[in-house]
Amino acid sequence: MFLGHQASYEIPFGRSAQPEGITGAVEYRTKEEQVADHLREAILSGHFPRGTRLKQAEVAKTLQISITPVREALKLLEAEGYISGSSYKGAVVAPLDVAASVETLNLRILLEGQLIRHAVERATTEDLRLIRGFADEFAEAVRRKDSAEARASNYRFHKQMYATANLPQTLHFVQILWARYPFDVINRVEGRAVTAVEEHEELLRAMIEGDLAGAMLALRRHIEAGWATVKDETEIGGDHPPAVRVRRTPRRGKEDKRNE
């Protein structure tokens, strides 16, 4: 009853020996990476809901390895914002913190705006063709109501778009922000994906036309539309600053002193 409502988790990552002919296959370099990947997917897919306690020994036993790689993977995920933990007390999947989410929202607009700006300036025809492809994949997946495929295409669409900006550090920060962002809430909503398809179209059209202002506006609309969904779903108050919060954990992983 722990892992395994989906086939891919039953055999998390198989034996080390794999036919080396398939070069593109998912062959990990270290076990730490395998564990990190596995946990990331399990968290993002909702298999470990927010607030779930992740015990080193348990994870290690599930994946049939010793706990050392698990600890290091947990540290990595903590740095990436997927989980939060404090010393000797273990790690939990980051709970929804409205105050933090508002900050994340603003940072996303700020940083993804930079990425769009550079992407519009640098995009080649080939870049646009790739982005177009992922946009179509996303639209198709939404039409088929294949939510897993939709999530994947959506990810690839944004990733490809931002990759053309050629700002690796900014992109890295944005990915951390994604990890902290309540996509799980957004994805639960029925009509959201359909709207997102239109927003992608608008964004891509502006990019193709080289319309910088239009692209940045479209991006802003896209992000804010998602946030509006979150607000509706979580019953946060209106537009006023979120005075009502959840904030049930200290959310300071690294430096909470014993005596304060």
Number of Cβ within 10 Å of residue 222's Cβ equals 19
- Identity of the residue numbered 196: A
Query: Any idea what DSSP says for residue 84?
Result: E
Tokens 């080289």, residue? 210
Q: Which of 11, 57, 110, 148 binds a second copy (CB under 8 A)?
A: 110
Residue 183 CB burial class (10 angstroms; 0-12, 13-18, ≥19): middle
Q: What does the alpha-carbon distance between residue 200 and residue 175 come to, in Å, rounded to a whole number? A: 18
37 binds DNA (CB under 7 A): no
258 binds DNA (CB under 7 A): yes
Report phi then psi at 131, rounded to 5.
-60, -45
> By three-state DSSP, how is residue 247 classified?
coil
Q: What does the alpha-carbon distance between residue 76 and residue 139 come to, in Å, rounded to a whole number? A: 33
Tokens 């390895």, residue? 65
Decide if 224 contacts 199 (C-beta within 8 A).
Answer: no
Instruction: Considering the complex, state which of residue 65 and residue 128 has its C-beta at the smaller distance from DNA.
Output: 65
Does the CA dihedral 147-153-157-162 come out positive or negative? positive
Question: Which residues inside 119-178 make contact with a second copy, applying CB under 8 A?
Answer: 167-170, 173, 177
User: Which one of the spans 25-33, 117-125, 136-144, 172-180 is the region binding DNA (CB under 7 A)?
Assistant: 25-33
Distance in Å, CB of 79 to a second copy, minimum:
4
User: Of DNA, a second copy, none, which one does residue 91 interact with (CB within 5 to 8 Å by kind)?
Assistant: DNA
Q: How many residues of this chain bind DNA (CB under 7 A)?
A: 24
Instruction: Considering the complex, state which of residue 23 and residue 124 has its C-beta at the smaller distance from DNA.
Output: 23
Residue 257's contacts (CB-CB under 8 Å, 6 or more residues apart) are none
Distance in Å, CB of 106 to a second copy, minimum:
8
Q: Which of 8, 66, 106, 147 binds DNA (CB under 7 A)?
A: 66
Which ranges of 144-239 does DSSP label H, i.e. alpha helix?
147-163, 168-180, 183-188, 192-208, 212-234
182 binds DNA (CB under 7 A): no
Decide if 115 contacts 171 (C-beta within 8 A).
Answer: yes
Distance in Å, CB of 143 to DNA, minimum:
40
User: Which one of the spans 28-36, 196-204, 214-222, 241-249 is the region binding DNA (CB under 7 A)?
Assistant: 28-36
Instruction: Considering the complex, state which of residue 175 and residue 195 has its C-beta at the smaller distance from a second copy.
Output: 175
Question: Which residues inside 83-112 make contact with DNA, applying CB under 7 A?
Answer: 85, 87-91
Where on the chain is the footprint of DNA (CB under 7 A)? 16, 29-32, 53-57, 65-69, 71-72, 85, 87-91, 258
Where on the chain is the footprint of a second copy (CB under 8 A)? 23, 29-30, 33, 68, 71-72, 75-76, 79-80, 87-88, 100, 103-104, 106-107, 110-111, 114, 167-170, 173, 177, 180, 251-252, 254, 258-259
